[in-house]
Structure 1
Amino acid sequence: MNRPTILTGDRTTGPLHIGHYAGSLSNRLRYQDSHEQFLLLADAQALTDNAHDPEKVRRNVMEVALDYLAVGIDPGRTTICLQSHLPALAELSMLYLNFVTVARLERNPTIKDEIRVRGFGRDIPAGFLCYPAAQAADITGFRATVVPVGEDQAPLIEQTNEIVRRINATAGHEVLPEAQAVIPKAGRLPGIDGKAKMSKSGGNAIPLSASPEEIRKAVRAMFTDPNHLRVEDPGRVEGNVVFSYLDAFDGDQEGLEDLKAWYRRGGLGDSKIKARLEGILQELIAPVRERRERLAREPGYILDVIRDGTDRARERTEATKRDVVDALGLFQL
């Protein structure tokens, strides 16, 4: 069956958390049946702002792969591969940098935001600035036509397609397909402290390996409505972290709407909504945690999954690189 090709993945900077599950992992489980899916362990990209700590990047390759398998990613239906062991991607990145200007890279809204957040100023690692070209290499290397991204990442797909159009125009025919950004309906989950970005290093995330007590503690610490001081007070749902998580994970959306109405008019305490959320998260994470603990005792199997997937991905990306080199008319030996 001719299925569309989808590329997705994660930087190997730490184990995954429930924000990843809501935003991407649950969708990847569905894509296994409808798409030819490649899942990239993006260790080379992780180095663009972690070159001072390569051990962190190396160590988390296994951790992220373990999370993929624990949530139910099937290596027989999804190719899990390691970015740094796909040399064609680096070669394509170098070629593509000739088809984009520094000014255009600096204007990319995603890159501008990330530079500001990280406080680089003008001390921007060259690898970080050039990331849009590297992502274009990742996407086109697999000939992906579908790329799930958050709304804030959509400009990177636009820039990929700009590079694709320039390559095709130079070659005089279509060498590479353009990709479509697919933005999940569920927005990014906030951290349990109400901050926009959830991260394990920031201490405001719930990892997929969380114990029952860690889940309980995290839910109890969640930011709600600071003005909802008494049970009888009307409460605000918008910006309330507990309701954001319920929106993402509660299977009874009709019942949830009733709960929101009750909270808004007053008479519903934060402890009640937190208890509902905790029960949902305990049920969601328990089987993932158990599979993860079991798989962690089989590191040889995890390595085999990565090696086999990387071998398959290498064939695909090398073929694409050859097509691009031929189309551009570069000298062949």
Structure 2
Amino acid sequence: MSSSAEERVLSLIIPVYYNAESLRDVAKAVAWLEAALAQRKLGLEAIFVDDGSGDDSLAELLKIKNARPATKIIKFTRNFGAVQAVRAGMRHATGDVVAYMAADLQDPIEQVVAMVDAWLAGGRYVISVRRSRADPLLTRIAARIYYRLIRMLVAPDFPRKGYDFRLMDRAIAKQHEAIPAYVNPIIFEFYLGFKPTVLEYDRRERVHGKSRWSFRKRLNLMLDTILGFSVRPLRMFSAIGVLTAAASVCYGIFLVIATLLHGGDMPGFATIATLISFFFSLVLLMLGIIGEYIWRIFDRVTQRPESVIEETYF
């Protein structure tokens, strides 16, 4: 693709999952964005990925394509997840720069323009960090715990409030072709070492529908993030094992000395039984963590498809 300003294109990837109610507003937002980009001599490649929606999302997407024939639509056979939807969109993106936006419109479309301006100013990787978020209390608490764990176990300099809204040039987007399905792409991009240009914005309250981001999906993402980029869980349990072994030796010496000095049986069966149960639980937890690492190795070796496309509308 030519590097002239007139021919540069932004590829905007929009995963869709039960978003039929919001897609009309999304179409208006895309039209507004296209006009704003035209003022900057940029084109727009809009790529929608239907992640196995069970509502009328595909029908609404086809209406968008009828009104704007250049729109690209990718339909999955079933729900594979937002991460896989974004990566499928990246594989079909042809623009000089790639951005991601959720179809619930909690992330304002104006922020895409702000990120584009930062890219035009020389930023290769532009992230929008949430200054505030109009989400339920439990969601905010879970997010705070999650990002604290990320900073503690994976990336100490990761933004405290996290981010999903981001824009990257083509060179960074191409790196996604090499990573397996279970790797969190946001952490992967951060891991690459490109210094991000950081912008802030206020996340809006959801207007249409309800969040499909369940606790199970959040938990899976947390495990994938921590176990996909850090060996610290294994080292933490190794350290616990060393401390436990040292404590056991000290306790054994204490029992021997106490028996020699005082004779007879030493009380403490309940304490010993409790300690045995506790440390067996630690062993099982450790085996579970090892199993998670082994599963990721197995998943990479078998090379199963991370997503399956049923149909494309280009």
Query: TM-score higher than 0.5 here?
Result: no
Which structure: larger Rg? 2
Which of the pair is proportionally richer in strand? Answer: 2
Which of the pair is proportionally richer in helix? Answer: 1
